[in-house]
Amino acid sequence: MRERLEAVCRAVGPPQVATVAIDGTAVRFVMAGDMAEAVLPALAPRVVADESSPPFVVELWDSASASLPPPSPPWRREDAGPLGAVRGYNDARHKVIVDLNVGTIVIADLAERVAVVWAASAAALPAWWRAAPLRMLLGWILAAPGRHAVHAGAVGSHGRGALLTGRGGSGKSTLAMSCVAAGMEYLGDDYVLLASGAVGPVAHSLYSTVRLTWDSPALRPNLTPWSSLDGEDKAVLDISEVAPSQLRPATAVKAIVIPRRSGARTATLSPVSQGAALHALAPSTLFQASDEGAAAMALIADVVRRVPAFEFVSGSRVEEGAVLLASLLEDER
């Protein structure tokens, strides 16, 4: 796979190189052909000039750029199991993920700190992939004791943040966008890096994008800058374009908020149990964690024990969500 990347570079020119830093971990992307256009926009706020540590190197190339197919894999199509993990090729050190629908292969050697990513066509990668590129690979790279990528969003105010969690479709993205419209800090709507240390839990931003269903109330023209909209099944906005000053790399997690859609007239925010918070955050994260479930579960359980949890029931006015969360974070000083 790496030899094919070198061949692509000989055919189309030198690769584009960029390094991102997330919670002190540097990841250097070496992108041949058109891969930079698919990967960098959502990660642009994390790009740094100087590497804070020896980087994990990720090399990326696509077949369409140089009409060069990938090498024949040693596995069979039916060997790709849940989440695309190839049976017999995944262990603590080595990872192989195949997405037959999108047309991507990810191969990583975590001990050597190198990975190679192939796509059939960078230009054909769907908007949802571009909104959160290489999510599973970044999860492996960033995983550490007390640190794991989780299926949650995060917003904040003056350095105090709320982790927004719940199953897909619960309203995390709509609530996050209402907070952006109100001038609050933004770290993510669907995936963030969660760390738990002596000073308390911290959420670290991974991507600058937000994905909203096209019927989301947060897509009213008076709330959302329409110029950045993109996407197929969902609208995709890049907050680094529409509200760059509100992006934050990290925030202290002072509350867990579980959004729930309803037909209520007025939005409410009510305390809930640790069990409710665990049920909202753990299953969707573990389902998407490939084989790191035990470590993710330990982190989530620790954070749930340390941080109060609340249920947010949406009302008819989407703006109410930001008001309630800002007030909550002020109370959690």
pLDDT digit string (tens) for 105-158?
999 999 999 999 999 999 999 999 999 999 999 999 999 999 999 999 999 999
d(Cα 165, Cα 75) in Å, to the nearest integer?
36
Q: Is pTM, for the whole model, over 0.85?
A: yes
The residues facing 19 across adjacent strands are 28, 48
- Domains located in the chain, CATH noted: 2-142 (no CATH), 147-331 (3.40.50)
pLDDT of residue 207: 97
pLDDT digit string (tens) for 194-226?
999 888 999 999 999 999 988 888 887 666 666
pLDDT digit string (tens) for 1-20?
999 999 999 999 999 999 99
pLDDT of residue 287: 83
Percent pLDDT > 90 in the chain is 76
Please check the confidence at residue 263 and state whether its pLDDT lies above 90. no
pLDDT of residue 298: 92
pLDDT digit string (tens) for 15-46?
999 999 999 999 999 999 999 999 999 999 99
Residue among 296, 300, 260 nearest 279 (CA): 300
The mean pLDDT of the chain is: 91
Please check the confidence at residue 187 and state whether its pLDDT lies above 80. yes
The encoded tokens of residue 235 equal 């609208």
The encoded tokens of residue 230 equal 């993109």
> CA-based Rg of the chain, rounded to a whole angstrom?
20
pLDDT of residue 332: 67
Q: What is the dihedral of CA 272, 275, 280, 286, to 10 degrees?
A: 160
What does the pLDDT average to over 282-299?
82
